[in-house]
């Protein structure tokens, strides 16, 4: 039996006042009852009174969107290019406008131009999620969110279908670029900051894809199989933190099954865990056509029954009606779903007839996007190669990616931006560049580019394989000549990825292509012979191999995909105009095969149709650095790692407060440490706290990230004292035997460290006298499917 008790909701008195005599008035801000708190309880009460006045047919229209290409009911001002809608209602009593949902997460994905309209509606293309997380700066991410939210509001959209919060379980997931990290704390905190920023504008966010959508291959039916502890500690926890710290308007359930059942049809996941345990009060929507709605007429009702309130893009009204007729869906359940939806709808700009300007401050946002890009780029290697003292230095830039620069990935995580600054342009804006090389690569690109139509209405894009240096006299001559005439070489390597497909562990994707490897080798030989440095810029969607070639070059800047100003942001960092402070939120392993999930990715084909059906999360909680540190496995670059043009020293790490024994589940640990800029230029440092916890009943990873903070910009010689608070609920592990989150007793080591490599860090300790039960959970939730037990998972090891 579960000892779990649903959270009590605080109902303000004002709700009761406001409810008296309600019809379906829109949110009237002139209704200034002094004590009115317009929280979800307030809107819920109003939603209940609206639902009481609706016919079943009207309610079904709300629970199922209009369908792809369908006409939304009571839509007032359409916005071209949105991904979906929530239908409205219009009759003599109710006038609820339809509301508009648009992707995310790269920014607001709407059409940049419209038929028969000379206006432009471009949105800012922000850096990809992985780059934003590498800033480790929740204040900056909240600012980014605020700007994204302004575009949503001023372009007439209501809810953003972002941020993407799946865990980067394996480097080859095609959508990793949209996601933040392999670590749930980083995912949760960065996600919460984004949600808070966007929603500060009075528009909504949708944290997605809840949960276990960690690959794209056969994504519509893949079955993610894992133990409840694995799911709770790794794959659900980021969502839990975001709900706890930001209470988003919406959650989008994922395409996949978890332990045998579509996530959006699992009541334990969508209602018991999300609402009852975590206190989520928003609406839950399906991913587009998820849950096999196209082939299974009963799926839509199964989703509503699970607590997945809204079917997107919809078109499921008839199926839902049939399920009501057969008794598989009750009016009471439908009412509950529609109340959840209308609770959020009332907060939206469309509902409140907001007159949008179509004129967000794109200039200010461009500046912020460029800043964010520079703050998240990670300097992986620097053997006295960087910075390149601007202007006076002459740069030889190699690689077709300087022309075919990627601002972001493809699919729904793409944005119709007004422009993309290529790396070639960015370098030319800052340095004296070798124009013969630029011309060579421009012409090569034009002659060899390959068009990809793009998916899901995203704009098309081009890729171009790297030029060969073998039997290529023109390029060989350019390498030889530029090694004599220029001061430094920059080699650009690019990787595109997107929704609907996973990446490959092969040459040209995870590995360098033969042409890229040869280019690095030849350029390095020529420039090193002249005692000149060689820097590689990685304009990539995520992890690629670095181990096999990193020692051939003097500097590596992991630029990820920096949004519309990618080229300028790269030049900002290479020149030292911005001192890099990004750190990895994902491990760069020594080899792909070292990643524990490489053995199971992207799953096994159990029915012989050539597509994987089941994917076993064998490695359990040992994902990313949790695995590499626990099993003492060398990596190319560890999680949390990143260099700066200055140096930082860590001192005086101390536990300053421990209320765990006194306050139990409400207790916390406080640590402080002083970070000093011991180098010669100004810079920022992201400090991380890893905990090594005692193992009483539960085995645990050797270290786990439990807090992080970034200093402000410290001038050379100056210092900042950082404070880290770790609440019991963040410290806790999930104990399957008692179905509870617990903090085990014993001595804990805390490492305040510049990265997850804590080998040189002296830990401080604190103790917990007796086990703390932080919270109980739903009995039997996420149980393994029939025929699967603990022995079905191959245990990871060295």
393-422 binders of ligand BGC (CB under 6 A):
412
Q: Is the bond preceding residue 267 a cis peptide, omega within 30 degrees? A: no
Contact between 85 and ligand BGC (CB under 6 A)?
A: no
Nearer to ligand BGC (CB atom), residue 350 or residue 412: 412
Nearer to ligand BGC (CB atom), residue 106 or residue 768: 106
Contact between 243 and ligand BGC (CB under 6 A)?
A: no
Query: What angle do the packed helices 317-325 and 331-345 form, to 10 degrees?
Result: 150
Please pick, from the candidates 288, 527, 592, 601, the single residue that binds ligand BGC as defined by CB under 6 A. 288
Phi, psi of 744 (to 5 degrees): -80, 150
CB of 207 to ligand BGC, least distance (A): 11
Contact between 83 and ligand BGC (CB under 6 A)?
A: yes
Q: Report which DSSP code applies to 19.
A: H
Q: How far apart are the first and last CA of the chain?
A: 38
CB of 592 to ligand BGC, least distance (A): 25
Q: How far apart are CA 499 and CA 522, in angstroms?
A: 35
102-141 binders of ligand BGC (CB under 6 A):
103
Nearer to ligand BGC (CB atom), residue 68 or residue 529: 68
Nearer to ligand BGC (CB atom), residue 161 or residue 304: 161
Q: Report which DSSP code applies to 444.
A: H
> How many residues sit close enough to ligand BGC to count as binding (CB under 6 A)?
8
Residue indicated by tokens 């909680």:
621
Note whether 740 and 777 are within 8 A (CB): yes
Beta-bridge partners for 490: 397, 535
CB of 326 to ligand BGC, least distance (A): 29
Nearer to ligand BGC (CB atom), residue 61 or residue 287: 287
Phi, psi of 317 (to 5 degrees): -60, -45
Please pick, from the candidates 128, 161, 369, 478, the single residue that binds ligand BGC as defined by CB under 6 A. 161
Q: Is the bond preceding residue 211 a cis peptide, omega within 30 degrees? A: yes
Largest CA distance in the chain: 85
Choose the catalytic residue: 40, 137, 287, 572.
287
Contact between 292 and ligand BGC (CB under 6 A)?
A: no
* Tokens representing residue 641 in the block: 């790692």
CB of 203 to ligand BGC, least distance (A): 15
DSSP assignment of 100-150 equals EEE--SSS----SEETTEEEE-----PPPHHHHHHT--HHHHHHHHHHHHH
Contact between 502 and ligand BGC (CB under 6 A)?
A: no
CB of 565 to ligand BGC, least distance (A): 24
Is 477 one of the annotated active-site residues of the chain?
no
Beta-bridge partners for 311: 64
Alpha-carbon torsion, ordered 215, 219, 221, 225, to 10 deg:
10
Q: How far apart are CA 469 and CA 136, in angstroms?
A: 39
Nearer to ligand BGC (CB atom), residue 81 or residue 197: 81
Note whether 558 and 380 are within 8 A (CB): yes
CB of 208 to ligand BGC, least distance (A): 6
Q: How far apart are CA 429 and CA 409, in angstroms?
A: 24
- State the binding string over 361-400 for ligand BGC (x if CB under 6 A, else -): ----------------------------------------
431-490 binders of ligand BGC (CB under 6 A):
456
CB of 280 to ligand BGC, least distance (A): 19
Pair type for strands 488-494 and 533-539: parallel
Q: How far apart are CA 491 and CA 554, in angstroms?
A: 11
Nearer to ligand BGC (CB atom), residue 207 or residue 273: 207
CB of 287 to ligand BGC, least distance (A): 5
Alpha-carbon torsion, ordered 157, 110, 220, 60, to 10 deg:
40
Note whether 102 and 110 are within 8 A (CB): yes
Q: How far apart are CA 453 and CA 432, in angstroms?
A: 35
Contact between 287 and ligand BGC (CB under 6 A)?
A: yes
Contact between 15 and ligand BGC (CB under 6 A)?
A: no
Contact between 177 and ligand BGC (CB under 6 A)?
A: no
Nearer to ligand BGC (CB atom), residue 541 or residue 755: 541
Q: What is the 3-state secondary structure (H, E, C) of 336-403?
A: HHHHHHHHHHCCCCCCCCCCCCCCCCHHHHHHHHHHHHHHHCEEEEECCCCCCCCCCCEEEEECHHHC
Nearer to ligand BGC (CB atom), residue 287 or residue 486: 287
CB of 253 to ligand BGC, least distance (A): 11
Nearer to ligand BGC (CB atom), residue 174 or residue 567: 174
CB of 247 to ligand BGC, least distance (A): 20
Q: How far apart are CA 163 and CA 144, in angstroms?
A: 12
194-233 binders of ligand BGC (CB under 6 A):
208
Residue indicated by tokens 């009060």:
281
Nearer to ligand BGC (CB atom), residue 398 or residue 461: 461
Query: What angle do the packed helices 184-199 and 138-154 form, to 10 degrees?
Result: 40
Q: How far apart are CA 678 and CA 688, in angstroms?
A: 18
Nearer to ligand BGC (CB atom), residue 356 or residue 456: 456
Contact between 253 and ligand BGC (CB under 6 A)?
A: no
CB of 288 to ligand BGC, least distance (A): 4
Burial (CB count <10 Å: 0-12, 13-18, 19+), residue 448: middle
Q: How far apart are CA 31 and CA 34, in angstroms?
A: 9
CB of 185 to ligand BGC, least distance (A): 23
Residue indicated by tokens 């009995």:
779
Nearer to ligand BGC (CB atom), residue 288 or residue 441: 288
Phi, psi of 94 (to 5 degrees): -120, 140
Edge-to-edge strand ranges of the sheet holding 261-262: 261-262, 257-258, 223-225, 614-616
CB of 339 to ligand BGC, least distance (A): 24
DSSP assignment of 535-590 equals EEEEE-SS----TTTGGGSSEEEE----GGGHHHHHHHHHHTSS------SS-EES
Which residues of this protein are in contact with ligand BGC, per CB under 6 A? Answer: 83, 103, 161, 208, 287-288, 412, 456
Active site residues: 287
């Amino acid at each position: 039996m579960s000892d779990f008790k649903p959270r009590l909701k605080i109902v303000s008195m004002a709700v009761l006042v406001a409810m008296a005599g309600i019809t379906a008035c829109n949110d009237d801000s002139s209704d200034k009852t002094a004590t009115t708190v317009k929280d979800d309880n307030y809107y819920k009460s109003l939603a209940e009174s609206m639902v009481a006045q609706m016919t079943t047919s009207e309610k079904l229209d709300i629970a199922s969107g209009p369908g792809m290409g369908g006409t939304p009911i009571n839509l007032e001002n359409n916005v071209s290019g949105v991904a979906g809608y929530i239908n409205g209602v219009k009759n003599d009593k109710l006038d609820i406008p339809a509301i508009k949902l648009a992707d995310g997460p790269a920014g607001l994905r709407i059409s940049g131009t419209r038929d028969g309209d000379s206006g432009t509606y471009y949105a800012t293309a922000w850096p990809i999620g992985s780059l934003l997380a590498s800033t480790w700066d929740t204040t900056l991410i909240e600012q980014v969110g605020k700007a994204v939210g302004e575009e949503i509001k001023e372009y007439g959209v209501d809810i953003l279908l972002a941020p993407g919060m799946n865990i980067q379980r394996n480097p080859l997931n095609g959508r990793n670029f949209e996601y933040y990290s392999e670590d749930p704390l980083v995912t949760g905190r960065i996600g919460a900051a984004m949600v808070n920023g966007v929603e500060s504008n009075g528009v909504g966010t949708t944290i997605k894809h809840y949960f276990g959508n960690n690959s794209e291959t056969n994504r519509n039916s893949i079955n993610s199989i894992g133990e409840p502890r694995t799911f709770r500690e790794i794959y659900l926890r980021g969502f839990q933190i975001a709900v706890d710290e930001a209470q988003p308007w919406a959650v989008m359930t994922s395409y996949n099954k978890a332990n045998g059942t579509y996530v959006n049809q699992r009541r334990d996941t969508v209602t018991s865990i999300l609402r009852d345990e975590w206190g989520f009060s928003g609406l839950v929507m399906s991913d587009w056509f998820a849950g096999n709605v196209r082939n299974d007429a009963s799926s839509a009702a199964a989703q509503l029954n699970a607590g997945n309130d809204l079917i997107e893009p919809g078109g499921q009204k008839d199926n839902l009606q049939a399920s009501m007729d057969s008794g598989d869906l009750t009016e009471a359940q439908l009412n509950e779903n529609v109340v959840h939806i209308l609770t959020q709808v009332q907060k939206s700009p469309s509902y409140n007839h907001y007159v949008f300007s179509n004129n967000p401050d794109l200039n200010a946002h461009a500046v912020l996007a460029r800043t964010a890009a520079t703050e998240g780029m990670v300097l992986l290697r620097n053997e006295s190669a960087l910075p390149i003292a601007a202007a006076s230095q002459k740069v030889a830039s190699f690689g077709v990616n300087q022309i075919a620069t990627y601002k972001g990935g493809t699919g729904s995580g793409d944005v119709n931006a007004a422009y993309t600054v290529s790396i070639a342009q960015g370098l030319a804006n800052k340095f004296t560049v070798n124009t013969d090389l630029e011309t060579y690569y421009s012409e090569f690109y034009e002659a060899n580019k390959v068009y990809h139509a793009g998916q899901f209405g995203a704009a098309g894009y081009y890729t171009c394989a790297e030029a060969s240096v073998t039997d290529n006299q023109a390029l060989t001559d350019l390498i030889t000549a530029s090694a004599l005439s220029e001061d430094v070489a920059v080699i650009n390597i690019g990787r595109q990825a997107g929704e609907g497909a996973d990446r490959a562990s092969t040459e040209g994707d995870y590995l360098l292509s033969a042409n890229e490897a040869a280019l690095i080798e030849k350029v390095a030989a020529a420039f090193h012979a002249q005692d000149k440095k060689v820097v590689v810029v990685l304009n990539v969607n995520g992890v690629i191999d670095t181990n096999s070639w990193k020692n051939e070059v003097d500097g590596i800047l992991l630029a990820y995909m920096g949004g519309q100003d990618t080229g300028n942001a790269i030049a900002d960092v290479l020149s030292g105009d911005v001192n890099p402070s990004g750190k990895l939120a994902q491990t760069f392993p020594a080899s792909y095969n070292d990643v524990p999930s490489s053995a199971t990715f992207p799953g096994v084909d159990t029915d012989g149709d050539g597509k994987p059906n089941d994917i076993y999360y064998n490695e359990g909680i040992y994902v990313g650095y949790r695995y590499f540190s626990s099993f003492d496995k060398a990596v190319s670059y560890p999680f949390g790692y990143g260099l700066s043009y200055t140096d930082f020293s860590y001192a005086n790490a101390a536990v300053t407060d421990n209320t765990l024994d006194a306050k139990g589940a409400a207790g916390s640990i406080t640590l402080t440490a002083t970070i000093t800029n011991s180098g010669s230029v100004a810079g920022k440092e992201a400090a991380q706290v890893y905990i090594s916890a005692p193992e009483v009943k539960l085995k645990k990873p050797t270290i786990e990230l439990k807090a992080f903070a970034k200093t402000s910009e410290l001038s050379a010689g100056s210092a900042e004292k950082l404070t880290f608070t770790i609440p019991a609920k963040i410290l806790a592990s999930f104990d399957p035997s008692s179905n509870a989150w617990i903090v085990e007793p014993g001595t804990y080591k805390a490492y305040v460290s510049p990265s997850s490599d804590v080998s040189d860090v002296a830990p401080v300790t604190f103790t917990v006298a007796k086990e703390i039960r932080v919270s109980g959970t739903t009995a039997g939730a996420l149980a393994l499917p029939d025929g699967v037990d603990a022995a079905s998972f191959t245990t990871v090891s060295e």
